Amino acid sequence: MSLFAYVPDAGNRALVDLADAHNDTRAVLLSSEQEGIALAAGADLVGARAVVCMQSSGVGNCPNMLSLVRGGGFPMLLIVTMRGDYGEMNPWQYPMGQAVGPVLEAMGVLTYRVDADADLEPAAQAAVDAAWRGGQGVALVLSQKFLGAKPF
């Protein structure tokens, strides 16, 4: 993996910091999540791998750009950290949070959900394999059961 493109979220902070600190990977701050889809496709054209990290709200910014996945056969790995999910206290987060699954499904992106610590490693491996061996678009969805809900 060479690029970790991201829109900041509390849930992806540690991962992005790790990617930034690692010698072989680079964290790339995006303005909008849909940029990450096109960026990952650009990396793929030159034989590199990029991951796109976003909060669940950001999935709502992506559908048209995800045309690259089903139409272009670009492998794609999204890491989606959930809001509007189990234990959410902010009513603004529920509409998009609950639409993450249907939106991704509509655009032909598989979803692998992580609810417990034990799910993480196998789901992450399965997602990587689906993307770069299977040529699929796939989202690793880290739920609020796994991450914990944001306390207000």
Partner 1 sequence: MLDRREVLGALFPDPGAYLMVAGLAGSARDAAALTGEADTLFAFGGAMGGAVPMGLGMALAAPDRKVAVVTGDGELLMNAGALASVASTMPENLSIVCIDNGRHGETGGQLGHTARRTDLAGMAEGAGLPSAMTVSDAAGLGEAAAFLEEAPGPRFVCVRVAPGPPAEYKRNWDPAECRLRFRRAWRESRTARRG
Interacting residues toward partner 1 by CB under 8 A: 2-3, 5, 26, 28-32, 34-48, 50, 64-65, 67-68, 71-74
| Shortest Å, Cβ 40 to partner 1 | 6
Q: What are phi and psi of 41, to 5 degrees?
A: -65, -40
Planar angle of CA 27, 62, 9, nearest 5 degrees: 45
What distance lies between CA 63 and its chain's CA centroid?
A: 13
| Shortest Å, Cβ 129 to partner 1 | 19
- H/E element holding 75? none
| Shortest Å, Cβ 72 to partner 1 | 4
List of long-range contacts for 102-107, beta carbons under 8 Å, 24+ apart:
103/59, 103/60, 103/62, 103/63, 104/59, 104/78, 104/139, 106/63, 107/62, 107/63, 107/66, 107/67, 107/69, 107/70, 107/137
Kindly tell me which of 68 and 138 has the beta carbon lying closer to partner 1. 68
Kindly tell me which of 41 and 99 has the beta carbon lying closer to partner 1. 41
Kindly tell me which of 71 and 87 has the beta carbon lying closer to partner 1. 71
Kindly tell me which of 13 and 89 has the beta carbon lying closer to partner 1. 13
| Shortest Å, Cβ 62 to partner 1 | 10
